[in-house]
Each structure stands twice: as structure tokens, then as C-alpha cells.
Structure 1
Amino acid sequence: MTTNEAKPKTAPPPPIVYPPYHTVRRYSGYSQLALSPDGSTLAIASRQQGPALVCEIAVGGGKLRPAFAIAGASVHGLSWSQTGELFCSADRGGSEHWQVYVRRADGNVEDFAISDGDRVQHHLSHSAVSPDGRQVAIGTNARDAADVDIAIADTITGLQRLVISGPAWHVAGSWSPDGRWLAVMRVAQNTDQDLLAVEDASGEVIEVASHQGEMQNVPAGWLADGRMLAITDHDSKFLHLEAIDLHSGKRELFEHPEADVEIAASSSDGRGVVWSVNEDGYSRLRWRFAGGPTAERETDGQVGDVVVAADGTRAAYTLFPLAGPEEIRVLTLATGDDRILVTGEALPQYGPRPESLRIKGTEGDIPCYLYRPEHAAARVPALLVIHGGPEGQSRPSMDDPFLLDLLAQGVAIVVPNIHGSTGYGKEWQRRIHRDWGGIDLADLRSVAEWMRAHPELDPDRLGVLGGSYGGFATLTCVTRLPEFWCCGVDLVGPVNLITMLENDPPNWRRWNRLWIGDLDTDREKLIQRSPITYVENVRCPLLVIQGDNDPRVPREESDQLVDRLRSLGRPVEYLTLGDEGHGFVRLDSRQLVMERIGQFLDRYLVRGRN
């Protein structure tokens, strides 16, 4: 579905990589970066050419060059073995039907862990290959579609042996420096994990960090002395780093800041450790090398991903600066030398530094960023942008072209981190569990009232936009707080919690029961909290955008919303994208989405033609 209206002023530049939610990196283990065995080359799952392919660049400097692609697929994660094989996971059409491929040391690209049909997935962690390069750990739901087990495969023959299985989602961590043990995370939910270790030779499984109640325990590598490194909230409000003895279970603090450790990685020999601390949305990079003191640097942005060379001498990481294009950087741990290796294509302009503020809510102050347009002479329209997850976090960087266009046209951007967001302690994050449409509704009302009362914002021109959970929150706003909004944009958001849960992929069902609710025991509550229940309240024009292949929020969600709105005679525009899923990876798809959002907001928010 297209229109003949003018395109937005700024076309989105192709990104090098996308910044993943740190919850996604922590609980899936994948990375878009991989360093070669000798640390001289960096491989990147780059999206600059469209669906992600594998590119390479010399760490000493040079040009980013295409290395290989998986036909018809988008590469998701990478892991490079010490014997030269480069493994990658990829899916097709946004289906999230992950499969594993390998480029051999001689350059041939082969299928490695592949299944026909759309039931069996194979997952690849960034540190999946053993130190000797002979084995690779694979996550697989071949035994049961609802579970993810761990298999160890021979890197040459591909033959697999199951080492951990059971009614849970398991994620392979990294191997101990001597190659004897593989760390495994057993995930109950985003705020509750156990750590296991499986001995390669015997198959013995040790419960390293089992516990009562909810506790985060995420594998972050190993130290040279054989202790496992974990990101955990053990006895703490915030995520921090602990070193855990495999046999005694004794825990020792490695790093305990008064903020969340958001991501961490170690070298395969355990000598080098790099981690990032989330300080009110800004990342502080820290590291140790060969038993030396902790060093650090402020980034003035967000660290999205980090990998460490096998010998611990250097690390590569992605940085999304506050003002400027994305960067892939190389850090030398011994000296602290830190330099840009690759820079993304620059936008014509970047947003100003936002004001970091707190909005009074019913259960605590709500962290929020406010981007003000320059040279505003009167009250200006404002757009509320709600992140997905809900266990994610909006950060103080502005690199969305259509949002930059809005700022240039005099629109303020309001970006809150309501309950459920990460980065503000475990109680803030957990509060939304089984309370979608409850505490978030209260927070959104507080933010909307603050926006309407703000002396610089036009109360008659307030819009709302969000994707995934943010789409649910957007639909909650326009159906349950309809008096505030002149327009709304929903991207792949669920509108009916009943049908969403009924159509869950098998391996998401146990999590969604914990996060959202149980169809058997919570049905009435789920109906009460679903935006579809209040769709007759919608007053403002709505733009709905949906991927046809979305496995998490199926197209049925958007179809039923649009059908109901049209039957009620309410203004709604509907854009569907074939060969796309829960997010849009094709360049032409992203361009079209940007165009349609820009046109819609220009019509109803900037000009106020409602």
C-alpha cells in the first residue's frame, strides 16, 4: 500500500548493525561481531546491503568488504573458531526459524545445523566454539518445539550429541579456558535464570547458580583461574559481575557499580574481560587485562555489542553515540588505546542532547528524555515514543531519520522508560510482569498528563508511537486514554492478549504465561487489559504497520484491529510487508516504513489536519 505524497526529507542510511536490546544479547548469547583466531580480522553481520550478510575488515584498518551471504537469508549471529571456521546463524523473511551455517577455512560455505520445514530452530551463541576449535555448542528445539536443548556438534562432521535437555529454554554460554566445561544458562524468564556447567568428556552437569525465587544469572565468560563469570543481581538491586567457583559455588564480587552491568564478555583464555555499565542510559566501558587494575572510558552513547579476542589483548565493540553515526571500535586492553574501525553513514543532522528528567508517577518517578526542537517560538506538537520489550530501555541517542525530521519541523520528542524498563533496578523491571495494561497504563497516563500540562507543548497536538510491546502501549493509549491524542502509530503491536497468547510460538508460551498471563486462570483479566476491548473509544487517526511473517505478534493481531476500526468508520491506514517479520530487515521495507510514518505524522501531528 503506497501513497503519492512527498517523501520525508531524510532517507534512512543503511546501518552497519542494529543495536540489540541487552536483554536479547544476554538471554540469547548471539553477537553480530566475531574476531578471527589471530585477532587480525573482524567479521560483522552487516545490514548495509539489505538483509544482513557477513562482511570483514582488517583490525589494523581498511575498507569493510563483503565476505559471504546466505542465499535468501539474513545473518543473525557469528562465532569464529580457532581453526578458522566462521559459523553464523540466519533466518529467512523474518520467520525467526534460525539455522546454522559455516564458512570453512578454505572459503566454502556449507549448511551445518539445518532442518527442513519451519518447526526446528538452531541457535548459535557468540562463544559457542570450543577453545581447540573442534566442537561447537548449538541450541535446538528438535526434541520438543516448546524447549531449547543444548547439543555439542563436531565442527567437521556436524554430528551432534545432546548434553542438556528438559522443559526449559537453554542458552549455551562459553567454554572454560581449558575446554573442559561449557557454561549453560537455563532461562525461566528475563529476571530469572540458573547457571549450569556441563563437562565435555563425561557429560556431568553441575548446578552452578541455582536458587530460590527470582534471580538473574547470565554467563559472561570465564576467568583464567577457571571460575565462571556471571552478570547477576544476587543480593543486589542492580546487575553486577561475580566470579563463581564451579565446585563450591562460592561467589566473589568482580564489579559492583551502583547501576546495571548491561553486557560483558571475556577472552577464551580468561585473561581479558570487558563490560559496560548503564548509567542513566549512557554506557561506561570498563575492562581488565591479565590480572591488572580496572580501566574505563566514558562513551557518551550506548555500547551495543562487545567481543574479546582469544588472547584477551583486544576487544571490538559497537557504539551508538549521542550525536553522530554508529561506530565499530577496537580497544587494546593493555594500553587503553581505543579507535574507530568502521563508521556508519552519517545522517544530515543529529538530534540535540536530550534533557534527562523524571515525571511523577503513581508508583515512583518515571525516567524520561525530552528532545526539544531548536528555535521554538510557541507551544509545539509532541510525539510520545514508547520502546518495545517491555523489558528494554530507551537510550539518549537520536538516529531515526523520521524523528530527526520531526525535530527539524518543530516537534518535541518525549521518550519515557515506564515500569518494565531495564536499567533502573530489578523491582522497576519486574513490576510489569502479569500486569500489562495495568501499571503501564498508570505510567502512560502520568506521562500524558505531564505532556498536556507542559508549557512548551501544544496539548491539542500530541501523538504516540511504538513497536512490539510499544505498539501494545500505543494501542492502550489511543483506546484507554483517547482524550490525549491527535494520532497514533502502531508497529507490530498486539491488540488482543487472548489471541496473541493462543497463537504463541511453542517456545514462547512458558515465558508469556509468566510475563503476560495464563489463558486458563487470567482470561477475564486479559480481556480487560486488551486494547481491542476498548477499540470503540478510538478518536484519532491511526497508522498500523505489520510484517506478514511475524512469529511473535502474528498478522491476525493487526488485521482484527484494522477490521474493527474500519467497521466503526474510524480513520485507519494499514501497511503490511511481505517477507518481513517482527521488525523490518530489507532496505526497501525500512525505506517504505519511514516514508509512511513521516507522511502520516506530517499530516496529523505537524500540520494538525485531524
Structure 2
Amino acid sequence: MTVEIRRKEIGNLLLENIPDIPVLLKDKLQLYQQTREAALADWLPDGSGLLISTRFGEAAQIHEVVRPGHFRKQLTFFDEPVYIARTCPDADRQGFLFARDTGGNEAYQLYFYDLRKQEYEMLTDGESKHSSGVWNREGSAFIYSSTKRNGIDQDLYLYDLAGGTGERLVFTGKGYWYPVAWASGGRYVTVINYRSINESHLHILDVETGMLQTIQADPNIACRSGSWSADGRRIYYTSDADSEWRGLMVYDLDTQSKQKITQGLDWEVEGLQLSADGTQLAFVINKNGISELYLYDTARERYERVEVLPEGVIADMRWHPKALRLALTINTPQAPADAYVLDVETMDLQQWTFSEVGGLDRKGFVKPRLIHYPTFDQVGGKDREIPAFYYRPEPQDAPMPVLIYIHGGPESQFRPGFSPAFQYYLKELGVAVLAPNVRGSSGYGKHYLKLDNGFKREDSVRDIGALLDWIEQQPELDSRRVAVMGGSYGGYMVLASMSHYNDRLCCGIDIVGISNFITFLKNTKSYRRDLRRVEYGDERDPAMRRHLEQISPTTNAHKITKPMLIVQGQNDPRVPASEAEQMLRAIRKNGGEAWYLLAKDEGHGFRKKSNRDFYNQAVILFLQTYLMQPLEVGVPEALVTT
């Protein structure tokens, strides 16, 4: 039995078996699709305003804002999104670095934007993958990593603007290396060798000799950051040495000693920024997915929590070049991300951007509740509990259908930022959303991170089975109407959940998901392969290869009899489009129903507005078709041919 494939194209989108989107659905979704967000990029060179990233057209671009609530002046105009902008510290140079790729291929190129001329110039080779550049304190040069040498290893290059000599290779190493911060004088840089989420080494690089001095290098320790004190004698970084979580540390170069600063803060320190004068260190902890901002007085060696911020997720901290003013992005469940500035001396918080929500009533946005549900195993003699965020619509007469949303990574974490799509599911469909942080998620300690590695991969899938058990015990939820959705590794989790719990799920939505671990490890970009082997297992080992084949969704596709929506970007360097295509073939070979959406100008997820809009329309139509009624779904007879 084969399934008829109805194919059509809309712009850069290829559709298979997706019905026409009803006009009423488009109209109802329109307001939700007009929401916007703004993220901090950096201060302008003289500190007179902010550079931000926001979207007014098809893709996010860099804008400048000169005072709170002022209009946004767009600076870059590309069809592709512009990433990370970093202002040159030399105010006379009047410019910033930014990064951009093509069609989602993640081969980022670095550009210098001249604010006086309002012109830009590409500085890198146009082909290799590059990290964002880190300026030296004088603004005469920047350092970045690149795959230019062999396409696999990410070496370190220095680009000299002042001397006019351009690019120079300063360090070659195996694997993934990236720069963090410069010491004054322009000779020494802190760099990280990232080996896995559980192992990363911190070093000092001498850019003149290429020699390394090790600060922390241990197979059981993960380090991040590496900010230099004003006098260049201390380095502030984070490490999970002797702890479950990465805490704030200080390294003394004179004594070569390390000291933990955040004693008693048993949560992950995830952001770190030192003020220009070196007197204040801002850091953020991740407490059950919510950000808390702290300020550390480097002279008094004391830190205090900042209480004036709204509850949400903090990112992109940048200090003013001359004053104790901290700019940052704050994203909350009930408001899109926006740029704020905190005056540290007065504790006055000002919102600088005011992102639109498409005319929707902000008061109606749902804030999730953090829950914990028991799973199949125990820790310390008690049932292990899995954290999840529960978005509940307004009470209804009948039990509500449920969408389980699984994050990617897998070493990531669902955090309750603003999602217009979630708000639509809640308000317009009456669907409850559960977003679990299954074992292997970050934010809950390094041992929790390792609970799904290698041969333990399917234990995270069993956490979804335990969530289905929890749903059955909630009278307000309809356990007969449950869908599962996720992207990247979350896409694998969707496919695995659909094969393990096919009889308990109505349908699944797989977005850029892994369908076979062997082909994934073979075809993912070469600079990622060894990093992924640490997490998923090394397929070159015969026992591991057999295990990965056994648990791969393509091997178990015959168990999936419920409808699937599969979404993919053609240029995805992480999970290649071949992963989606082979899963489609496997499902359809068994007579299964699968909708397919491919974007020819996207990579690992949809970033352009027109593509994202259609994707959201297709997801909602799929949920309306297969989740909203408790149906025994098979393949429509009209689609079956022999």
C-alpha cells in the first residue's frame, strides 16, 4: 500500500499533502503573527543609544535607538537575518561588527559597519563558518574562531584593523575553540575549548606566540566566560568544579589560585559581564528556568540580587562604555522580549523598546505554572520528579486537549518566554500546553544532564510516558486528545514518543528532527560530529551502532499509525533535510499519513516571517484536524492507492 502524494509550491515552500489553509484560520491568526520582539545588541560607540535586533520586514535586522521609547532607525537591510552586533570600543572608528549567513546554512560571515558612511564591508572569506568577533579594549583588532583551515576544527584568527594587515591565524587546535575576552594591552585573551556541555576548558592565549596557559582543564568540569579585571590580575569565570552547577569563580594570576564567589547559590550562573571600570560584575542565575540578576562589587567582594526586574528570562547584557548602566534583554511569558537599561547607582530600570503584540490584549496572555511530575525511576529513595511548565487555558466545561512541547538540544531547557503561537493554542483552540524539561536538560545540574547520554537515550522518552500518566490523573485534561511537538532533538523525541506511545497520542509534529542517529552523525556538518558523539554515542563502536540503529525512529516507523506533520529547512547544517525525507518515506511505506513542509531558503528552523507565518498556519490546521476531536485516525481512503 502506498499513499498518494499531493505536492505544490508556494514561493520557497514545498508542500506535500497539506490542505489549503482556510481563510478564517488565516484571519484569526493574523494578529498573533504581527507580534514583534526586540533584543539588545550593544551600546552605540559613545554610549548615546543602543543597537538592537528587531524585525520590520522579512527578517531581523540591526537598528539604533537613541533614547527610551524613541523610534527605531534601521541600519542593515538584508533578506537574511543579521546576527550579533558588537560595537568597536574605539569611538573614533564609529562602527560595529555583525554576522550573517545565507539561507540558514550557519556559515556566518563577519562584516564591519561604518556608522558615519552607513556602509558595510565583509571581512571574512565568504565560505567558512565564523564565530562572532571579540574586540580588544583599544578597538584596534578583534579575534574570532573559524573553520577555514580544514572545515572541521575551529581555530582562532586575529583581524588587525589599525595596522591594516587584516586576518592572521594565531592558534590552531583540535575541535571547537572560541574567544571570550581580552586583557588590557591587547596581548592576552581568555579562550574556551568546548568539548561537550559537561566538559569545557578555560585557557589564556598569548596572541603573539600562540602559547596557552591553562586555568581549568578537567574532563569532569565545564567552564564558561572569562572576564579580566581592570588591572589584568584576576579572571572571573564560571565552573561546576565540586558542584552540580556552574558557580561564579575568580582566578588570581599572581597566586594561580581559584576561589568560588557564589557560595550557597545552588543554581546555574549563566551570564557574566564586567563593567568598563571593573567595579561591578553583573551575573545571572537560572532558577528553575527563571532568571535572577545579581551585582557583584569587586572591591567589597559582595553580591546582591537586583529586585526591580520583571520575572522572566534575561539575555544579552552589555555595560555602558563610560557609566554604570547595564543594558539587557528581558523576555517574559506575557510580553515579547525588549531592551531595558538599569542604572546601577539608582536602581532605576527603564524600558527602551516597546514591542507590539499585534493589537492583542496583553492582559489575556497566559502565564505558565511550574509543576513537577513523578517519572519511572528514583533518586535518593524517592520518585524522580521532572519539571514542566503548564500553560492552562481558561476553564472549560469539558476536559481540554493537550499539546506536549519538547525542547531541542538535547542539552537545552524550555524557559517561559513569550510565545504568540502558544497564546493562540491556549486562547483560540483551548489547548493546554505542557513543556517538560526531561532528563538531559540543562539548568538542573550536571548529573541530570548526563541521564540520557549514550545507552540511556530512551530514558528521556520514558519521561514523556510518565507525563502521559500524569495527564491521565488531571480531571481538566483529556488524555484521549494529546499531541506531541518538538524541534531538532525535540523532533527526535516526537518521533520516538509516537512509536512508543502511538496508542496514547493523536498526532505528532516533528520540526527538523533526527530520524536515524547513524545517518545523522554521518551527514551533520563535520565541525559538529565529535561534539554530537559525546552526547548520542559513537557510532563507530559496534555495540553503540547496534543500539543507535535499534532506537532510531526510522527503524520503528512501522509502529506509528497516527498522523504526522514533518517540517524541515533545506539548508540545515545540523540535522540535514535527508533526515526528514527518509522518515517521510518510512511512514508512507507503511501507509501512514504525513504532511510535509520544506523551506528551500531556511536551515535549522524558520527565521523569515513569510515562512514562519505559513508554518504556524499549517501547524494550527494540523492540530484542528487531528487533535481537536477524539478520533480513531487512520489514512483517509482518498489518499490510498495500490
Taking structure 2 as the reference length, what is the TM-score of the superposition? 0.88
Q: CA deviation at 1:436?
A: 6.4
> 2:117 — aligned with what?
107
Contact kept in structure 2, 1:51 and 1:74, CA below 8 Å = yes
> 1:498 — aligned with what?
518
- 1:432 counterpart = 2:443: no
Q: Kindly tell me: are residues 276 and 577 of structure 1, through their superposed partners in 2, closer, same or farther at Cα, counting changes over 3 Å?
A: same
**Whole-angstrom CA distance in 2 between matches of 1:55 and 1:82:** 18
Q: Aligned letter for 2:55?
A: R
**Whole-angstrom CA distance in 2 between matches of 1:263 and 1:185:** 15
> 1:361 — aligned with what?
375
Superposed, 1:401-550 pairs within 5 Å as 401-435=421-455, 437-521=457-541, 522-550=544-572
Q: 1:135 aligns with which of 136, 141, 149?
A: 141
- 1:554 counterpart = 2:576: yes
Contact kept in structure 2, 1:40 and 1:58, CA below 8 Å = yes
> 1:304 — aligned with what?
315
Secondary structure of 1:384's aligned partner: strand
Q: CA deviation at 1:196?
A: 1.0
Q: CA deviation at 1:529?
A: 1.6
Contact kept in structure 2, 1:281 and 1:423, CA below 8 Å = yes
Q: 2:230 aligns with which of 221, 224, 234?
A: 224
Q: CA deviation at 1:566?
A: 1.6
Q: CA deviation at 1:601?
A: 0.6
Contact kept in structure 1, 2:63 and 2:74, CA below 8 Å = yes
**Which runs of 5 or more structure 1 residues have no equivalent in the other structure?**
19-31
> 1:96 — aligned with what?
106
Q: CA deviation at 1:396?
A: 2.9
Secondary structure of 1:342's aligned partner: coil
> 1:341 — aligned with what?
352
Q: Could you tell which deviates more after superposition, 258-267 or 133-142?
A: 258-267
Secondary structure of 2:33's aligned partner: coil
Contact kept in structure 1, 2:99 and 2:108, CA below 8 Å = yes
Q: 1:377 aligns with which of 380, 397, 403?
A: 397
Q: Aligned letter for 2:177?
A: H
Q: Give per-residue Cα distances to partners, 1:95-127, cap 9 Å, x unaligned.
A: 0011100012533534343224x4x222114xx
Q: CA deviation at 1:548?
A: 0.9
**Whole-angstrom CA distance in 1 between matches of 2:458 and 2:138:** 51
Secondary structure of 2:578's aligned partner: helix
**Whole-angstrom CA distance in 2 between matches of 1:312 and 1:176:** 20
Q: Give per-residue Cα distances to partners, 1:524-560, cap 9 Å, x unaligned.
A: 0110121111101112111111111111111111111
Q: CA deviation at 1:435?
A: 4.3
Q: Aligned letter for 1:564?
A: A
**Which runs of 5 or more structure 2 residues have no equivalent in the other structure?**
1-14, 378-383, 634-642
Q: Aligned letter for 1:484?
A: R
**Whole-angstrom CA distance in 1 between matches of 2:184 and 2:160:** 19
Q: Give per-residue Cα distances to partners, 1:193-218, cap 9 Å, x unaligned.
A: 1111123444442112122x221111
> 1:7 — aligned with what?
25
**Whole-angstrom CA distance in 2 between matches of 1:261 and 1:573:** 41
Contact kept in structure 2, 1:271 and 1:290, CA below 8 Å = yes
**Whole-angstrom CA distance in 2 between matches of 1:564 and 1:488:** 15
> 1:28 — aligned with what?
none
> 1:23 — aligned with what?
none
**Whole-angstrom CA distance in 2 between matches of 1:289 and 1:328:** 24
Superposed, 1:386-397 pairs within 5 Å as 386-397=406-417
> 2:161 — aligned with what?
155
> 1:316 — aligned with what?
327
**Whole-angstrom CA distance in 2 between matches of 1:515 and 1:548:** 25
Q: Give per-residue Cα distances to partners, 1:18-44, cap 9 Å, x unaligned.
A: 7xxxxxxxxxxxxx6111232222112
Q: Aligned letter for 1:92?
A: T
Q: Could you tell which deviates more after superposition, 73-82 or 289-298?
A: 289-298
Q: Kindly tell me: are residues 527 and 403 of structure 1, through their superposed partners in 2, closer, same or farther at Cα, counting changes over 3 Å?
A: farther
- 1:565 counterpart = 2:587: yes
Q: Aligned letter for 1:273?
A: L
> 1:27 — aligned with what?
none
> 1:205 — aligned with what?
212
Q: Kindly tell me: are residues 351 and 605 of structure 1, through their superposed partners in 2, closer, same or farther at Cα, counting changes over 3 Å?
A: farther
Contact kept in structure 2, 1:553 and 1:582, CA below 8 Å = yes
Contact kept in structure 1, 2:468 and 2:479, CA below 8 Å = no
Q: CA deviation at 1:401?
A: 2.3
**Whole-angstrom CA distance in 2 between matches of 1:486 and 1:232:** 43
**Whole-angstrom CA distance in 1 between matches of 2:121 and 2:239:** 36
- 1:78 counterpart = 2:89: no
Q: Greater relative contact order (Cα 8 A, min sep 6): structure 1 or 2?
A: 2
Q: Aligned letter for 1:160?
A: E
Q: Aligned letter for 1:283?
A: S
Contact kept in structure 2, 1:492 and 1:545, CA below 8 Å = yes
**Whole-angstrom CA distance in 1 between matches of 2:584 and 2:357:** 36
**Whole-angstrom CA distance in 2 between matches of 1:181 and 1:582:** 35
Q: CA deviation at 1:184?
A: 0.6
Secondary structure of 1:224's aligned partner: coil
Secondary structure of 2:614's aligned partner: helix
Q: Kindly tell me: are residues 187 and 484 of structure 1, through their superposed partners in 2, closer, same or farther at Cα, counting changes over 3 Å?
A: same
Larger Rg belongs to: 2
**Whole-angstrom CA distance in 2 between matches of 1:541 and 1:263:** 41
Contact kept in structure 1, 2:368 and 2:390, CA below 8 Å = yes
Q: CA deviation at 1:13?
A: 2.9
Q: Kindly tell me: are residues 554 and 202 of structure 1, through their superposed partners in 2, closer, same or farther at Cα, counting changes over 3 Å?
A: closer
> 1:170 — aligned with what?
177
**Whole-angstrom CA distance in 2 between matches of 1:318 and 1:241:** 21
> 1:246 — aligned with what?
253
Q: CA deviation at 1:272?
A: 3.0
Q: Give per-residue Cα distances to partners, 1:150-182, cap 9 Å, x unaligned.
A: 111102536222222111210110112443421
Q: CA deviation at 1:374?
A: 0.8
Q: Aligned letter for 1:585?
A: R
Q: Give per-residue Cα distances to partners, 1:282-317, cap 9 Å, x unaligned.
A: 111112356365341253111132122233511211
Taking structure 1 as the reference length, what is the TM-score of the superposition? 0.92
Give the % identical residues. 27
Q: Kindly tell me: are residues 160 and 268 of structure 1, through their superposed partners in 2, closer, same or farther at Cα, counting changes over 3 Å?
A: farther
**Whole-angstrom CA distance in 2 between matches of 1:450 and 1:183:** 47
- 1:65 counterpart = 2:73: yes
Q: CA deviation at 1:419?
A: 0.6
Secondary structure of 2:135's aligned partner: coil
Contact kept in structure 2, 1:233 and 1:240, CA below 8 Å = yes
CA RMSD of aligned residues (A): 2.1
Q: CA deviation at 1:270?
A: 2.5
Q: Kindly tell me: are residues 147 and 285 of structure 1, through their superposed partners in 2, closer, same or farther at Cα, counting changes over 3 Å?
A: same
